[in-house]
A and B are shown apart, each in its own frame.
Chain A
């Protein structure tokens, strides 16, 4: 699985958009980009995934660059409950491969 690079921490004001970047410059053609988040003392929670097109669901939007070497997770209107560690993971789906978590980005949403 390709390695990802994320900033260790970010701050965001409540109600504003939170844009979390991820670099995956060695991603291969069949690897998807997944985002999970982990709120303190809970298990990771799936947010969104994509291959090369931008994706949106009820939680977030995922923007993947045309060369697929980086992506951005967007939380359009961050709330205090979005404070968590966000993990960007790349992997080939449908195999027995694991989720390889890095250290993630700690997002702090403030009033």
Chain B
């Protein structure tokens, strides 16, 4: 079975531009979460979606938005990019719901803002 798939793997954008990152969860997983990891730090939670609804939001500005599609894939959008948005963006999928489910992470999208 395929794991969590993220695209693109690498991306270079200019300040002020917009970017869309994509994530395909493991088949059967209904929950997708997004994390930002800047160099030298642990991943920081951005969003969680379950059954196409937002279930959690981290402390990120409104420039960050996301959505989940009927096939449970997800997109993370970042508008008006800043140099500080340069980071590894990680997607994690899980079965979701009320059980004690683990998270499986993708390999991430490395975004560089210049």
Contact = CB atoms under 8 A, between A and B. Distances in A.
Interface of A: 32, 34, 41-46, 49, 85, 87, 93-104
Interface string B82-114: 000000101010000111111111111000000
A104 B108 CA distance: 19
B112 to A, nearest CB: 14
Interface of B: 4, 33, 35, 41-45, 48, 50, 55-56, 58, 88, 90, 92, 97-108
Nearest to A97: B56
- A-B pairs with lowest CB-CB distance, top 9: A43-B105, A101-B42, A98-B45, A96-B55, A93-B100, A94-B98, A96-B56, A46-B102, A101-B43
Given A43-B92, A46-B102, A93-B99, A98 B33 contact: yes
Contacts of A94: 97-101
Nearest to B88: A41
A34 B12 CA distance: 34
B58 to A, nearest CB: 7
Contacts of A102: 42
Given A93-B100, A104-B42, 20 more contacts: A32-B100, A34-B102, A42-B108, A43-B90, A43-B107, A43-B108, A44-B92, A45-B105, A46-B104, A93-B99, A94-B98, A95-B98, A98-B33, A98-B56, A98-B58, A99-B33, A101-B35, A101-B42, A101-B43, A103-B42
B99 to A, nearest CB: 5
Contacts of B104: 46
A99 B48 CA distance: 10
A66 B56 CA distance: 32
A42 B58 CA distance: 22
A85 B41 CA distance: 10
A43 B9 CA distance: 12
